[in-house]
Each structure stands twice: as C-alpha cells, then as structure tokens.
Amino acid sequence: MSPNWGQLPALAITNVFQHLDHPDRLNASTVCWHWRFFKRIQFDVAREQNKKNGFFLQKLAHIVSEAKITFDSCNLYDVELAAEILFKLSKSARLLSLSILPKYATLVTPGRFYSEEEWNYILKLFVQPLVVLLGRKNPPLRALDLGCSEILALHASDLLNFTAKPQYLERLAFATVKQDPGHYPLGLIEAPLFEKCTALRVLTIDYDNLCDELLQTLQVLPLRQLIVHVHGIDEDHFGLSEEAWANFRGKNPETELHLTLVCAYEAVDILHTHILRPSMPLTHLKVLFCEKINCEALEYLSLQYSETLRSLIWVDSMRIEEYRNIMELVMHTEQDPLVMMAWRCKKLQELIVHGYMLDPHNVVGVARLRGRELKVLEISGIHISMPSIMVTPFNEEVSAQLGRKWCPLDAKTLPPALRFYPVSDEVRDQYILNHIRKDIME
C-alpha cells in the first residue's frame, strides 16, 4: 500500500521544511494541499506534551485557522498551561475558530467556587484573551466553543459585547455542564446581543437563557442547529410558549433542535408538561444521569415528533437497584413506549438506553420496526427472566433485522460511568461531555 503523504503530522512536515531553502519550500508545498496550509492544530495540554506544544506555538500558531485546547480542568498546573496557550493564540492574525475543551465540568482555580478571587482569575487568564480575539476585525473570529465550562459561559454576555464583527460569527457554543445542577449562578444573555449575529448557523445555550424574546431574535438567523442544555428549573423561569416555538419553526423549517437534560433531577419529571412543546423542531433528545425514566415523556415524544425525532439517548448508571425495574417502562402505558416510538417516528436512527431493564421481545420489536434504518441500537439491560439458552437466538434475530452483528453491552463493554459500581464525578463528566460534543456541527 502506497503511503499517504498528505497525512504526515504537522510536527514532521515543519521539521522537514526547516531544512529547505525558500525555493525548495515553494516547490514542496505544491505536492498537496495539506503541505501548503496547516488548517487545524490541537493542543493536548499535559506536562509531557510541553515540548510539542511549545513547538506548535512557535512554528504553527500564527498560521493555523482552527485551534483546539484540551486540558485537565481539575489540575491547576494544566489549567494555567492552557491559559498560556490561549494567550499566545490570541496574538494570531489568522485564527478563525477556537475551541476550549476542559475534560471535566469543574475548572479549578486558586479561589473558592463562585468567589471574587475565582472570577478575577478566570477574567484575567481566559476572558481577556478571548476578548482580544473577538475584538479583532481582520479577519474576524468565526467560531468559539467554551467547551461546556460553566465559569467561562458566565462571561458569554461580555464576550458578545466585545465582538467587533458579530455578523461573521458562524458557531457559538455557550451551553454548559454544571458542577452542582441544583445550585448555580445564572449568567443571562440578553436577546439583542444576537441580533447582529446574522451568519450564525450553530448555537448551544442553556435553557435558563431561553425565553420567548430570545427565540424571536433567533428565528431571523440562519440557524441550522440549536442545542439546549437543561439543568435545574428556576422558579422564575416561565418556560417557552407554543406560539414562540411555532413562529421559530415557521421561519426555520430546517433547523435541528437538540435538547439535553444533564443531571436534571427535577426537570425530568416535568419534561413533557413544562419543557416540551408540540411545535419544537426536536430531532435529538438526551437525558443523562437524571435518575428517572419518564414514560409519559416518551409517549409524548413519539406522538408529537414523529416527523422529526432522529435520536433518543436515555442514560443512567446500572448501580442502583431500583433503576433496573422493568415496570418503569410500562407503568403508565399499555404499550412499551420505545416500541411505539420505533413505530411512529419514521426518522429514528439512534436509540441508546442504559440503566433500565428492557423486555427482549420489545427490543426485537424495535429492531423489526426500524430495521436497517436504525443505525445505532445500544442497550445494556435485558430482563433477567430471559433464559440463557435464548440469548444467542435473541442476538441473532436483532442482528438480522439491523443487518449487522449486534449484542447488548455487558459489564466488560459498558463505559465505566454506566457500570454497577460508584465512579467519580470526573468519570461521569467525561462520558457526558463526549456525548454532548460529538453532536456539534462543524
């Protein structure tokens, strides 16, 4: 097999080019597009990566158009290394897209959570370099991802205020994962700040910031994807009206709405009564570690979003015994709500359920109804009354319907965050962030 020279690492290409004079560099750069332009660069912050990251900063940071910074946000040393990289990137004249990607929901600082010391620390190390980038006019920044960081997103309003050319912004990721979903400060973003973002295609935002006025502002933007995170439900939040969603959908018929509940222990109970609205253009729903499955909400989903819903992910840990009660899935309805969803929702392509025991006959029913159009079917709990001799025929039947080899996840293949034993918040955060980030459109 011939080598793919276009996939040589940037580090290797840069080292080679250092030994060439200018005419030879020009000739070599014509070999392929990748050798001519270093479009993307990712900084994986860690002490052992210091030499590599330093080289990238010195040789490539001033010419790349996209940069990502991943770091251990529970390690103060790595946080400050990430801030140093961000400061140097803020001097770049070519950077168009920046993603700050902490590995966990917590971002440690020398001060206490929500203290003035913490606020000033974040302001100096992270917010001020971002203000410099957003304040640049030529070329203007086009994409900013705050990596679900709660403390960074509290400054979202200031960042928009300091943006020199908001009309060039195409992607903004301001949604968060909370350190404490039951108690957190609200960083409200006023609707007029989005009025000049006339090129905005992708927006992630917390439900706390959404209101009818903001939805009215967003409906005139060319949004292709709106991702909303739900945590706690503030008693002063009035929710969004059916009329507002109907107007939004009328103006944006192609927009995907991704709704994600993260450790939303109260919101999961009122999902179908206070949050979901019939005119929502809902395509993806994630319910992550909310410690309950809401069968009435599942029924509502299949009735109201039969023409739009493409993905359902409902995930809890298997470690608490009461989560595994199969009756929770049929308690309020005569029919299994997942089977009804597979029947009604003609665009359903992904179904992931963990933390709850499922009837194997109904799993087969889902596979038969969706067939090969169901690209992802991931479950881990099959009711224990199923005889072991029937496990292989069951797997074979589902595999035949899906057109590929299939079996439920077991104790060995389950992600650590979903297994029977307790795990740290950091392990759970990584699982949550991986699921959330993969959906954001480039």
Distance CA 373, CA 403 (A): 10
Domain annotation covers residue 142: yes
**Distance set, CA 11 to CA 40, 57, 233, 415 (Å):** 12, 11, 47, 33
* Polymer length in residues for the chain: 442
- pTM, to two decimals: 0.90
Q: How many domains does the chain have?
A: 1
Reported as type and span, the H/E element at residue 229 is: strand 225-230
Structural domain including 61 reads 39-333+341-352+423-440
Give the residue among 89, 226, 229, 88 at the shortest CA–CA distance from 149: 229
Neighbour count for residue 213 (Cβ, 10 Å):
12
Instruction: Provide the pLDDT for residue 317.
Output: 82
Domain annotation covers residue 16: no
Instruction: Provide the pLDDT for residue 223.
Output: 97
Instruction: Provide the pLDDT for residue 323.
Output: 46
Domain annotation covers residue 309: yes
> The tokens of 34 are what?
């990748």
* Torsion angles phi and psi, residue 98, rounded to 5: -135, 130
Domain annotation covers residue 205: yes
* Torsion angles phi and psi, residue 104, rounded to 5: -135, 165
Neighbour count for residue 32 (Cβ, 10 Å):
13
Q: Let me know: does 147 contact 173? Beta carbons within 8 Å.
A: yes
Distance CA 228, CA 209 (A): 9
> The tokens of 85 are what?
């990289």
Give the residue among 298, 296, 326 at the shortest CA–CA distance from 314: 298
> The tokens of 178 are what?
């909370």
Give the residue among 163, 157, 113 at the shortest CA–CA distance from 135: 163
Domain annotation covers residue 364: no
Instruction: Provide the pLDDT for residue 34.
Output: 56
Identify the CATH number of the domain in which residue 153 sits.
3.80.10.10
Domain annotation covers residue 397: no
Helix 10-17 with 22-29: angle, nearest 10 deg: 140
Q: How does pLDDT run along the chain (442 residues), one tens digit per residue?
A: 566 666 666 666 666 666 666 567 556 655 665 555 467 889 999 999 999 899 888 878 888 899 999 999 999 999 999 999 999 999 998 999 999 999 999 898 887 777 888 889 999 999 999 999 999 999 999 999 999 999 999 999 999 999 999 999 999 999 999 988 888 988 889 999 999 999 999 999 999 999 999 999 999 999 999 999 999 988 777 789 999 999 999 999 999 999 999 999 999 999 999 999 999 999 999 999 998 889 899 999 999 999 999 999 999 987 655 444 444 555 545 688 999 999 999 999 999 999 888 888 899 999 999 999 999 999 987 665 666 677 888 999 999 999 999 999 988 889 999 887 788 889 999 999 999 998 887 6
Domain annotation covers residue 112: yes
- In sequence order, which residues have a C-beta less than 8 Å from that of residue 217 and are 6 or more positions away? 191, 192, 194, 195
Domain annotation covers residue 151: yes
